[in-house]
Structure formats: C-alpha cells, structure tokens
Structure 1
Amino acid sequence: MSTKIIIIIGVVLILIAILSSIKRNSDSRLISTKLGVPSGIIGVLMLIYASYSSDLVQYNRQIEQVSIGNKLKIEGEVINTKVVSPIDQDSVDCRILTMGVYPKANKNDIWVLIHPTDDRYYPQSDHTNTSYKRDGEWQVVTRFGGDLGEAYDLIVYETDSIASNFFSSTILKWKEVNDYPGLKLEEIPISTKEVDRIKIYTRKNCRGIF
C-alpha cells in the first residue's frame, strides 16, 4: 500500500471520529462513537506510520558519529589558513571532524577536498555549504570511503563565492542521485587557492559504509 493511500485512509478515519462527536438536534449522533473512537485512533496511527516511512518527514535513524584526531598546537599569531586536526601522516577513522585556523581578517570561504588513490577530488561539507568559520577557527565533517590504510591527500582551499557555489551545487547533485564520482583536477574552479595539504591514512576499512 502506497504512502498516499495510507494518508488518505488515515484522514478519512479521523474525519469519521470527528463526525461521531457531532450531535443532531434530536440528541442522536451522526455516527456512533463505537465506530468513531477506534476509527480516530487507527487514523492517527496510520498518519504517524506514513510520516516515518516516507520522505514527507526526514527521520534520521542513525546519528552520525565523528571522531577527532591528533591536534597540532598553534602558538602565536595565525597568518595562514591551515589544518590543525588531523595532523600530517595521521591515521584516522572513517568520519572525522577536520579542524583548522585562519587569520580573522580573512573573509574567503574555506573548503576541504580529499584526494584518494582514485585520483579524484571530493569536496567535504556538512550540509552542502562551506566549512564552518568563527573567531579564527574552522571545521567540517570529513568522510572517507576507502580501504584500510588507504592514503589520502587532505587539501584545504580558500575560495570565492563562484567556486563555493560550484562545490555546493556539485554535492547537491551527487546527493540527489546517490552517486559520488568525484571531480577531476581540471574541473576544480580556477578561482580556488590551495592553502594547506597533509597526507593521512584510514585506520579502518571504510569502504561501502556511506
């Protein structure tokens, strides 16, 4: 039975319950409460079931867990945008929180792209947006899908609005078809500027978990 049919039946049953509560002038009811009460209960349960089993309500059955890797100690004034966690040559879990710092006067957007052994580039984002920035610090959830011990370049870019829109729209398109082919190097907008790069490795088999 389709979700739409379940919703229609549920609404009808609730209407029956409402009509059972209406009295006529003769003090009789349009519909018996013996029919109306169970109809209302069943109708509500059907609507609840329909909402949780369809795209009408996006119900997250699994809360995404992320880990934090080793952290680089920063001393003194920050003059360049860079990664502070994970650190170069680190081994990481399948989902991590990549964190960094930037000069507070820097207004550019920050994007993290990972470059695995398939020679493609994968922009990372929480919700098809740029990395979160505030008070000289930035962060973004980063996901890996390779084998145990696979090597990745984790690359940080500063971008303008044009490049940011390109990355955001690309991620959105990938999500819509549930296919993440990655970008070729020549597809990355020329307005992006690489500001940091580290090499990391997966310490678990992350293939097929996303």
Structure 2
Amino acid sequence: MFTSVIISVVGGIIFILFAILYRKNPGLSVGLASIGIVLLIYGGFTYGSMNPIPINETFDTGNKLQVEYPVTQVQVISPVAGDAVNCRILSMGVYPENHNKDIWVLLRPSDEKFYPQSDWTNTSYKENGKWQVVTRFGGDQGEAYDLFVYETDSIASAFFSETIAQWKAANAYEGLTTEELPPGATEIDKIQVTLENNCRGIH
C-alpha cells in the first residue's frame, strides 16, 4: 500500500507540472491539473489511513510533595497521600542516580485487585531522576484507591505489558490478584487516594 501512496504523490506532481507546461492550452492544462490534484488527495488520504493521527489523552496533575535531595529511593511525589483525584492524572515521582529497573504504578481499588498503569511507553517514563505515567481510575466517587509503586526486572515488566495488551484486546480489565503479581516486581512505595468524581466506565 505504501508503494501506491508514492506512485499517487509522484504522479500527482508530474501531472501538475505538465499542466504548468501546457498552460497555453487551457483545456488540457485544467484537465492535467485536475488529475494531479486528485492523485495527491488520494495519496494523502491513503497515507492518513495507514498512519492515523494519535488521539491526545488529557489528564490532570495533583498536589506535589517537596523533593528532598539527594534522592535515595524511588518514591511517588504526586499525587499526595489523602488527595481526592480526577479520573485521569499524571502520577510522578523520583528515583536515585544509577537506578536501572523499570518503574510501574499499580492501582488497587476496593475489589482488592491490581491494575498496572501505562501510556505509550508501557513502563513509567524515566528521565534525569524523575518518572511519570498517566494513571486512569475507573471507580465510583469517593472510592478509595491504593496507589502502589513497583520496580521490576525485565521479565516482570514484560508480564505487565503483555497483560495490559490482552486486556485492551478483550476490552476487559480484570485486574490481578496478589498471587498473580510476578516475582520480579517489588513494592517500593504506596499511598492512598480517593476519587473526586464518578469514573465508572472510563478507561
């Protein structure tokens, strides 16, 4: 399909160039230009179908803890324990220098199951001692959530990524029991927050 896009675009440009060359013949020039424009539109539409523009997800940020330096351990700095949060927030934290494991946020609502959180990077995004990940809540207003921070080895990280992919494919987010958490995942921080609004049915 990509070849047809190239052919359409190149063909469209060629027809438009011929239209310019034959501008002394208005009928021929208009016909060639029309074909060229149609080919360019077709090529652009086909490319857009192959590479759809991603939908930007909106999220809120909550209160932040003051970071004490030097950072000696991975921790969450936003949201803050006891916060009332919106349905989608950006969870943020810090990690010490030379930290080489993946960082995951897992939510545990009232059903006592764990829900790993990810965005396009799957794991939390890490840079210059700070990490962050879009965190999505799906419960009732006032419901309490435990927000866990885990560090993982590559096997545990792959398990969480594959689990999320399976949930998305099935459109069924079943959660993980404590026994299902991979052995390579280690809990390193935990806070509790409540939902400010009703987030039921929101992914």
Calculate the TM-score normalised by the size of structure 2: 0.79
CA distance in 2: counterparts of 1:194 and 1:150, whole angstroms:
22
The alpha-carbon distance between structure 1 residues 35 and 135, as it changes in their structure 2 partners (threshold 3 A), is closer
- Amino acid of the residue matched to residue 182 of structure 1? G
Q: Conserved in 1, the CA contact under 8 Å of 2:12 and 2:37?
A: no
The structure 2 residue matched to 1:89, chosen from 78, 82, 106, is 82
Displacement of 1:191: 1.7
CA distance in 1: counterparts of 2:43 and 2:191, whole angstroms:
50
**Which residue in 1 is equivalent to 2:65?**
72
Q: Conserved in 1, the CA contact under 8 Å of 2:85 and 2:193?
A: yes
The structure 2 residue matched to 1:38, chosen from 34, 37, 41, is 34
| Number of equivalent positions | 196
- Give the structure with the higher percent helix: 2
The structure 1 residue matched to 2:140, chosen from 126, 138, 147, is 147
Does residue 125 of the first structure (1) align with residue 121 of the second (2)? Answer: no
Structure 2 unaligned spans of 5+: 19-24
SS of structure 2 residue aligned to 1:49: helix
Displacement of 1:206: 2.1
Does residue 59 of the first structure (1) align with residue 53 of the second (2)? Answer: yes
CA RMSD between the two structures: 3.3
Displacement of 1:196: 0.9
The alpha-carbon distance between structure 1 residues 51 and 12, as it changes in their structure 2 partners (threshold 3 A), is closer
The structure 2 residue matched to 1:49, chosen from 45, 51, 62, is 45
Report % sequence identity.
47
The alpha-carbon distance between structure 1 residues 38 and 85, as it changes in their structure 2 partners (threshold 3 A), is same
**Which residue in 1 is equivalent to 2:182?**
189
Calculate the TM-score normalised by the size of structure 1: 0.76
Pairing 1:159-174 to 2, within 5 Å after superposition: 159-174=152-167
1:168-210 deviation line (CA, Å, top 9, x unaligned): 2222333344443322222210121111111111212222333
SS of structure 2 residue aligned to 1:80: coil
Q: Conserved in 1, the CA contact under 8 Å of 2:63 and 2:83?
A: yes
The alpha-carbon distance between structure 1 residues 16 and 141, as it changes in their structure 2 partners (threshold 3 A), is closer
Q: Conserved in 1, the CA contact under 8 Å of 2:149 and 2:190?
A: yes
- Amino acid of the residue matched to residue 165 of structure 1? A
